C-alpha cells in the first residue's frame, strides 16, 4: 500500500524547509545595507558572518578599523564582541541552531517514514516522532525570526540603521520555519489517522473470529 497524500505533502514540505533553512543558516544576508549610501560602514550580516567597510566602533577608544567579511567569532573582532553579539542576536543564533539541529534529526526520520513500509510495526511511532521533532524545530525557528525581525534593524545596533534592510536569508528562514511547521503538523495528523485505523482493525478482528 502506498503512502497517503498527507504524508507525501508533509515530506515535500520538509524537503523544501530543509533547503531553505540550511541556506538561511549558512548565508550572510539576514541584514544588509540598502545600497543608497556611497560609503556604508556596514555591508551585510548573517548568523555567523559580518561584513564591514572601514568601520570603527565609536563607543571604544580603539583605532582599529574593520573591513571585508569575517567569521563573527574571529579573533580580530574580540574587542567589539559586546557590540557584535548583543543578547537578542545570541538568542537568535541559539534558537536557529536548535532549529537546524532538530531539522537534521527530523529529516532522517522523514526518510524513514517516506521509504519505510506502512505495515512496519514502528511506522506509527516514526510518524509521531517525525511530527513532534519537526514541530519543535519550527517553533525554535519561528522564535528566532520573530526576535530578529523585531530587533535586527533597530537603531541601537548596526551603523546607518536607517539604511539597513532585512535580507533574503532572513526571508528564507521565515519560509523554512513555516514549512517546517506545516510538515510537522501534517505528520502528526497522519500519525493520528494511522492510530485510528489500527484501532479499528483491532476492534474488527475479534468480531471476525466470533463469526467464524
212: confidence class by pLDDT, cuts 50, 70, 90: very low
Q: How far apart are CA 188 and CA 164, in angstroms?
A: 40
Asked whether residue 172 is domain-assigned, the answer is: yes
Q: How many domains are there within the chain?
A: 1
| pLDDT tens for each residue of 100-140 | 999 999 999 999 888 866 566 677 788 899 999 999 999 99
For 32-57, what is each residue's pLDDT tens digit? 988 888 888 889 999 999 998 888 76
Separation of alpha carbons 117 and 7, rounded Å: 12
C-beta of residue 31 within 8 angstroms of C-beta of residue 44: yes
Select from 66, 47, 50 the least CA-distant residue to 58.
Answer: 66
Task: Please answer whether residues 47 and 98 qualify as being in contact, where contact means their C-beta atoms are separated by less than 8 angstroms.
Answer: no
Q: Is 143 within the bounds of a domain?
A: yes
> Is residue 30 included in any domain, yes or no?
yes
Asked, for residue 207, whether it belongs to a domain, the answer is no
Tell whether 211 is covered by a domain: no
* Least confident piece of the model among 92-96, 111-115, 149-153: 111-115
Residue 194 belongs to domain spanning: 5-202
pLDDT at 139: 97
Mean of the per-residue pLDDT values of the chain: 85
- pLDDT score recorded for residue 138: 97
**Does residue 208 form part of some domain?**
no
* The pairing of beta strand 31-33 with beta strand 42-45: antiparallel
More confident residue, 80 or 96: 96
Higher-confidence residue of 129 and 207: namely 129
Query: Which pLDDT score is estimated for 45?
Result: 93
Classify residue 191 as exposed, middle or buried by CB count within 10 Å of its CB (0-12, 13-18, 19+): buried
> Band of the pLDDT at 178, cuts 50, 70, 90?
very high
Q: How many CB atoms lie within 10 A of CB 168?
A: 14
pTM for this entry: 0.84
- CATH number, domain of 45, equals 1.20.140.150
Residue 210 lies in a domain: no
> Which pLDDT does position 202 carry in this prediction?
47
Residue whose C-alpha cell is 533574503: 168
**Is 21 part of any domain?**
yes
Amino acid at each position: 500500500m502506498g503512502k497517503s497524500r498527507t504524508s507525501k505533502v508533509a515530506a515535500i514540505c520538509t524537503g523544501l524547509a530543509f533547503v531553505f533553512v540550511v541556506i538561511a543558516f549558512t548565508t550572510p544576508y539576514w541584514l544588509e545595507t540598502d545600497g543608497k549610501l556611497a560609503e556604508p560602514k556596514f555591508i551585510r550580516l548573517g548568523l555567523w558572518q559580518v561584513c564591514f567597510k572601514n568601520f570603527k566602533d565609536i563607543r571604544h577608544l580603539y583605532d582599529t578599523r574593520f573591513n571585508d567579511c569575517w567569521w563573527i567569532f574571529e579573533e580580530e573582532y574580540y574587542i567589539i564582541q559586546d557590540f557584535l553579539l548583543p543578547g537578542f542576536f545570541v538568542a537568535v543564533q541559539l534558537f536557529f541552531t536548535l532549529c537546524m539541529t532538530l531539522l537534521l534529526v527530523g529529516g532522517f526520520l522523514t526518510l524513514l517514514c517516506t521509504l519505510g513500509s506502512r505495515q512496519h510495526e514502528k511506522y506509527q511511532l516514526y510518524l509521531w516522532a517525525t511530527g513532534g521533532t519537526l514541530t519543535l524545530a519550527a517553533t525554535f525557528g519561528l522564535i528566532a525570526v520573530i526576535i530578529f525581525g523585531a530587533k535586527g534593524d533597530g537603531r541601537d545596533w548596526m551603523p546607518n540603521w536607517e539604511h539597513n534592510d532585512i535580507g533574503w536569508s532572513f526571508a528564507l528562514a521565515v519560509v523554512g520555519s513555516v514549512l517546517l511547521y506545516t510538515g510537522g503538523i501534517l505528520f502528526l495528523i497522519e500519525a493520528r489517522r494511522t492510530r485510528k485505523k489500527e484501532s479499528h482493525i483491532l476492534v474488527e478482528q475479534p468480531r471476525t473470529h466470533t463469526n467464524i
